[in-house]
Amino acid sequence: MEKNVNLLIMGGDPRYLEIINQLASKGIRIFLAGFDQLTFSHPNISNQKPDQVDFEQIDAILIPLHGTSADGEIDADYSDENIHLSIEMLKRTPDHCAVYTGISNDYLDRITREVDRNLIRLTARDDVAVLNSIPTAEAALKIAIEETDYTIHNANVMVLGFGRVGETLARLFSAVGANVSVAARKDGDLARIMEMRLRPVHMANVADHMSEINICINTVPHMILDAAVLSKMSASSLIIDIASKPGGTDFKFAEEKGLKAIHALGLPGKTAPKTGGEIISKVLYKLLV
C-alpha cells in the first residue's frame, strides 16, 4: 500500500462488517460511526460516535449503498441512534475527501456540490453492479419461492427492465424453468432478449401482457406498475419490486386490489452479506489506494 488512508464508515447493513474487516486487514485505517452496538479488536478499527469523529483527518467516507434520506439520515443496523451526514461534517474534511455511496439523491448531490467534494456512486460501476446483481437475483428467487404456493418452474415471470440486474434476473429465472418475459425500451435490448430465447416486450405495452403473469419483478426506479397496469394482473400474482425508493409500484393500489407486492431493498445485504461485502471492499480498496 502506497499511502495511509483514513476511511470513515457511517452506518450500513451486514455487508459492511465484511467491508470493515477486509479493508482493516489490508492496512486501511477504519473509523466507524453508527456501530455502537458492536466491538472490534483490530488495531486499525476505531469505533466512535459521530460527534467524536475528527473529520479533518478523514480521506474518504462510505455511507450505505442506498444513500441517505431526503434530510441526510443514514440507516445504521448496528446503532440505536439516528445517524446523519451533514454539510457541516463535510466542510471539516480535507479538500480531497470523497464520499462513496451506491445511489444518490438531491440532498447528497447538493451538500457534496456545495463543499466541492467528490461523490462516487459505486453501483454505477460495472465491476460492482454486475457482480452485485448475482446475490440480488438469488435473493429475488428466494422471495419468489417463499411467497408462492407453486413452483417457479413453468411459472410466467415478467422482469421489468433489462439493465445489469434485469439481465441477471431473467437468466436465473429462465435457468430454473420459468417462462420469462422481459420488458425493455431499446431495440438493442429487445433483440438481446430474443437472442436469449426469452420473450421480449416493449415497456409501452406491458399492460397488454400482465393478465397471464404469475410473478412480476421490477428493477426500474420510477413508476411502471401503476393502477392501469396493476388492474390487468390476477389477484394471485406476486410483485417483487427491487428498485430503489420509492420503487416503481403503486403499492397503495396493489393493496386495494389484494395483490401481494413486496418492496425488497438491500437484498445482497440480507441474503448474502459476505459476498456483497467482498464485492464492495475489493472495489473500494482499488479506489482508495
| Residue 105 and residue 165 in one domain | no
| Residue 177 and residue 235 in one domain | yes
Residues linked to residue 32 through DSSP beta bridges, in sequence order: 9, 47
In a domain, 282, yes or no: no
How many domains are contained in the chain?
2
Out of 74, 89, 124, a domain closes at: 124
Kindly state the cell numbers that stand for 29: 485505517
C-alpha span between 154 and 180 (Å, rounded)? 9
pTM above 0.85, yes or no: yes
Out of 62, 92, 124, a domain closes at: 124
Residues 6+ apart with CB under 8 A from 187: none
| Residue 48 and residue 107 in one domain | yes
SS3 content of the chain, % helix, strand, coil (to 5): 40, 20, 40
Environment class of 133 (CB within 10 Å of its CB; exposed 0-12, middle 13-18, buried 19+): buried
**Residue range(s) defining the domain that contains residue 69:** 6-124
In a domain, 283, yes or no: no
Q: Dihedral angle at the C-alpha atoms of 204, 208, 214, 216, nearest 10 degrees?
A: 10
| Residue 118 and residue 143 in one domain | no
| Residue 119 and residue 162 in one domain | no
Do the Cβ atoms of 103 and 123 come closer than 8 Å? yes
Residues 6+ apart with CB under 8 A from 197: 174
In a domain, 1, yes or no: no
In a domain, 289, yes or no: no
| Residue 96 and residue 139 in one domain | no
- Tell me the angle at which helices 126-146 and 164-175 cross, rounded to the nearest 10 degrees: 40
C-alpha span between 223 and 145 (Å, rounded)? 25
The pLDDT of residue 1:
42
Kindly state the cell numbers that stand for 75: 440507516
In a domain, 286, yes or no: no
| Residue 92 and residue 172 in one domain | no
| Residue 50 and residue 175 in one domain | no
C-alpha span between 17 and 40 (Å, rounded)? 10
In a domain, 284, yes or no: no
CA angle 164, 141, 131 (to 5 degrees): 30
| Residue 120 and residue 10 in one domain | yes
Tens-of-pLDDT digits for all 289 residues of the chain? 446 899 999 999 999 999 999 999 999 999 999 999 999 999 999 999 888 999 999 999 999 998 999 999 999 999 999 999 999 999 999 999 999 999 899 999 999 999 999 999 999 999 999 999 999 999 999 999 999 999 999 999 999 999 999 999 999 999 999 999 999 999 999 999 999 999 999 999 999 999 999 999 999 999 999 999 999 999 999 999 999 888 999 999 999 999 999 999 989 888 899 999 999 999 999 999 9
In a domain, 48, yes or no: yes
| Residue 137 and residue 120 in one domain | no
What CATH number is associated with residue 64? 3.40.50.720
Q: How many residues does the chain have?
A: 289
Out of 76, 106, 124, a domain closes at: 124
Residue 32, helix vs strand vs coil: strand
| Residue 152 and residue 264 in one domain | yes
Residues 6+ apart with CB under 8 A from 110: none
